[in-house]
Structure 1
Amino acid sequence: MHADPRLAVPADLHAIETIVRLAYSPYIARMGRPPGPMLDDYGVLIDNGRVYVAERDGTIQGVLVLIPERDAMLLDNVAVAPAAQGTGLGRRLLHYAEQAARAQGYRVIRLYTHETMTENLARYARIGYAETHRAEAHGLKRVFMAKPLD
């Protein structure tokens, strides 16, 4: 059983960077460049209290980055270690993101993903996210989605 996610601390940096690299590397060939999450500065995000980690058996297996914005919580990144993929951890992290957004008073959670990550687009649509628009940012063709929170 996975424990609830906890706020990341600086000592978690290496594990976080490793999970992000392993989770996103398969998309490099498809996209022709590293996905945005591979370029983020996780040290700064940890220092700003934006990163959560999920552990199993004392090992970090999942990463969640939440960025509070004016009108919505941005689910900036969710990544699961390859060994933990298919265990429901990603689903639990997405659920936790929604709980955290509600707890901070948000009525909407939003995210974006690269248009070539079709598996993610389908996964988010299945759990209630709807596409709001598409745009190019930093040379990346992104699909923006949002989900109302009850």
Structure 2
Amino acid sequence: MMTPTIRLAAPEDLAAVEAIVQAAYAGYVPLIGQKPGPMSDDYAALIGTRSVHVLVDEGAILGVLVLVPEPDTMLLDNVAVRPDAQGRGYGRMLIVFAERLAAERGSRAVRLYTNEAMSGNIRLYERLGFVETHRAEEKGFRRVYLTKPLVA
């Protein structure tokens, strides 16, 4: 059995990345009344700026991670797992990878936001040590902002 690996996305991964994001977020459209933000992102541009990582297992791309470096923090902009691969711990692996990469790059914290209707995601982030900092409406979305300080 192969061990999952996480690597930078390459241009040839674009179709798989877009398909995973669309499938992973499709169920939230009726819940929030519009497409979640990640469904409209420009993944070709994000891959071009080396912001996208993919999780590969058994020869297939099963997860996507978008990281955006900021002055003192790393923005975990998106984490998505192919629906038929959810529940195997891939999302957690991607988040742990994000934390490790952020620490290696000198970030003091990892921050993220999610839609307040995605309560299951909020609970997962809290279990992983993220703490809610605030809520705000932005770009028509009701967002919950969370941060996890990194140990130096």
Could you tell me the TM-score, scaled by structure 1's length?
A: 0.98
Q: Are 2:113 and 1:117 aligned? A: no
Task: State the AA in 2 paired with 1:86.
Answer: G
Distance 2:130 2:76 in 1: 12
In the alignment, structure 1 segments of 5+ residues that lack a partner are: none
Distance 1:32 1:3 in 2: 34
In the alignment of these two chains, the number of paired residues is: 150
In the alignment, structure 2 segments of 5+ residues that lack a partner are: none
Task: State the AA in 2 paired with 1:40.
Answer: D
Q: Are 2:124 and 1:133 aligned? A: no
Return structure 1 stretches of 4+ with deviation > 6 angstroms: none
Distance 2:3 2:90 in 1: 7
Task: State the AA in 1 paired with 2:108.
Answer: R
Q: Are 2:83 and 1:82 aligned? A: yes
Q: Is the 8 A contact 2:5 2:57 kept in 1?
A: no
Partner residue, 1:45: 46
Distance 1:43 1:34 in 2: 19
Q: Is the 8 A contact 1:101 1:109 kept in 2?
A: yes
CA RMSD for the aligned pairs? Answer: 0.8
Distance 2:150 2:7 in 1: 22
Q: Are 2:30 and 1:32 aligned? A: no
Q: Which SS does the other structure have where 1:5 is aligned? A: strand
Could you tell me the TM-score, scaled by structure 2's length?
A: 0.97
